[in-house]
Amino acid sequence: MSAESRREPAPGAGATPSATPTPEPSRDPEKLLLATDLSEASSAATEEAFELAQRLGATLLVVSVIDPGSLLLPGGRFRVRVDQVRENREVAAQALVERGREAGVTVSFLVWTGDPGDMIISAAEAEHADMIIVGSHGRGAVGRLFLGSVSEHVVRNAPCPVLVVRPKDTAVN
């Protein structure tokens, strides 16, 4: 039989079931990662993370990253020591663990030091997060057009879906 007289089978004809990829059934996220600086600006994302974790029966991993560069004064001296910031973040995160205990949500936390965007992505990969929840500062009309640099970095590089939560008072009507 020459190459010209050969025909390809019609789509689906002669195909075996194993040759056709079967989409995975969608499942609810089991591990949510809340990326937060534990400040008031992050409270909307924190509220959303707790509500979602409770509704889905998911565990919640709170990740807070200390950016040493944000602690520097002009001239290179630290305005506050990294260990002091870490201690404050750990106390705030421990309060979230207690809140989770009261709400029936398993909460754990990590406080890392480094570039926030990169560290959030690394934590999501290392901890096998099913979804990342991150806040956006929503700075006025112009700010609504852009995510914050950390939020944008996470959205672009995350190994899983990302939910960006704006503060309640910046919602577009």
Residue 97 phi, psi (nearest 5): -60, -45
Check: CB of residue 65 under 8 Å from CB of residue 94: no
Check: CB of residue 85 under 8 Å from CB of residue 39: no
What integer pLDDT is reported at residue 29 of this predicted model? 85
Mutual angle of helices 116-126 and 149-157, in 10-degree steps = 30
Give the contacts of 165 (CB within 8 A, at least 6 positions apart): 44, 45, 48, 133, 134, 135, 136
Mean pLDDT of 57-80: 92
What integer pLDDT is reported at residue 121 of this predicted model? 98
Mean pLDDT of 79-87: 93
Mean pLDDT of 128-157: 78
Q: What is the DSSP letter of 144?
A: T
Q: What does 103-135 look like in DSSP terms, one character per residue?
A: HT--EEEEEEES-HHHHHHHHHHHTT-SEEEEE
Q: All domains of the chain, ordered by start, with CATH?
A: 27-167 (3.40.50.620)
Reply yes or no on whether the pLDDT at 12 is more than 70: no
Reply yes or no on whether the pLDDT at 90 is more than 80: yes
Q: How far is residue 55's CA from residue 58's CA, in Å, rounded to a whole number?
A: 8
Check: CB of residue 132 under 8 Å from CB of residue 163: yes
Tokens encoding 71? 């602690």
Q: Where residue 139 falls among pLDDT bands split at 50, 70, 90?
A: low
Q: How far is residue 54's CA from residue 68's CA, in Å, rounded to a whole number?
A: 33
Residue bearing tokens 């996220």:
29
Reply yes or no on whether the pLDDT at 25 is more than 60: no
